[in-house]
Amino acid sequence: MKQRAERSFREQRALYVLRFTCEHCTNFAVHDESCSHGYPNEAHREAHYADEVDVELTFCKDFELR
């Protein structure tokens, strides 16, 4: 799912310490930084959101919090 990151989301992400990127998912293989399901993960990684100005949020359908 893709959604535009509005200012309110960026504020809530910081306030509530929201986790939705690969680095916080049980399907993320740390040793080679890949998804265990084989999905491309560039748009789901923490680095993608480093510059939160005008970024599009991309949520993974198989995300499972560690």
Three-state secondary structure of the chain? CEEECCHHHHHHHHHHCCCCCHHHECCEECCCCEECCCCCCHHHCHHHHCCCCCCEEECCCCCCEC
Task: Please report the pLDDT score of residue 52 as a whole number.
Answer: 65
Within-domain flag for 23: yes
DSSP lists the bridge partners of residue 29 as 34
Residue 66 lies in a domain: no
Positions of the chain with pLDDT lower than 70, given as ranges: 52-53
The per-residue pLDDT for 20 is 93
Number of structural domains the chain divides into: 1
41 is a domain residue: yes
Q: Residue 10 gets which letter from DSSP? A: H
Asked whether residue 24 is assigned to any structural domain, the reply reads yes
Gyration radius of the chain over CA positions: 12
State which residues form the domain around 28. 2-58
Residue 65 in any domain: the answer is no
> In 10 A of CB 5, how many CB atoms?
16
Any domain includes 63:
no
User: Which pLDDT belongs to residue 19?
Assistant: 94
Query: What is the model's pLDDT at position 4?
Result: 80
- Give me the chain's average pLDDT, please: 89
pLDDT at 49: 84
